[in-house]
Amino acid sequence: MDERSKSEDAALPFWRAKRLDEMSRDEWESLCDRCGRCCLNKLEDDETGEIFWTDVACKLLDHRSCLCASYSNRHDFVPDCVELDVEEVLTQTYTWLPPTCAYRLLAEGRPLESWHPLVSGDPESVHRAGVSVRGRVRSEEDIPADTLEHWIVEWPGEVPVPLPPRPPRRNKRTKSIG
């Protein structure tokens, strides 16, 4: 890499300057936009491999924050929770990652979206943009496990249409009454 490329990279945010397998642990973790979509139960067609998302969330998912309630020791409660492996992300093995997922976007050579907290600087932007699962899911503890196919939904596999920008606020004229 020549000196000019090095200085250009230094001016870029880490998710544009580095490959996924060059990132530090903290950088890797910060890529997660906290949408909670990967914590939904999914079904896979045995023959075609097609993934069907449901709106039934893992029992540990907090439906308001969209965070795992016991992230550091989640495997004590949910042994099959998948810890993303960088090589498998890069080879796009995880076909069940939603199309909005930062790991999937970067592995596919696409940019992070404007609502990603790293881009917006605001952890709430992922919720405002309709990307997170906030307010849209139920817990797996509230339904019989053999009814999952009744809860199949399309939206976790879709990218929400961005909201139009808000018009500028006009200053209101006020007058006292009475």
Residues that bind ligand SF4 (CB under 6 A): 32-39, 58, 60-61, 68, 74, 78, 81, 97-98, 101-103
Phi, psi for 151 (deg, rounded to 5): -115, 20
Minimum separation from the CB atom of position 155 to ligand SF4 (A): 13
Minimum separation from the CB atom of position 174 to ligand SF4 (A): 44
Structure tokens at 171: 């200053």
Minimum separation from the CB atom of position 7 to ligand SF4 (A): 30
Q: Which of 56, 68 has the CB closer to ligand SF4? A: 68
Q: Which of 72, 176 has the CB closer to ligand SF4? A: 72
Minimum separation from the CB atom of position 31 to ligand SF4 (A): 7
Q: Which of 2, 154 has the CB closer to ligand SF4? A: 154
Minimum separation from the CB atom of position 32 to ligand SF4 (A): 3
CB atoms within 10 A of CB 33: 28
User: Do β-strands 138-139 and 51-57 pair in parallel, antiparallel, or remain unpaired?
Assistant: parallel
Q: Which of 6, 24 has the CB closer to ligand SF4? A: 24
Distances (CA, A) of 76 to 17, 44, 63, 83, 160: 36, 25, 20, 13, 34
Q: Which of 8, 111 has the CB closer to ligand SF4? A: 111
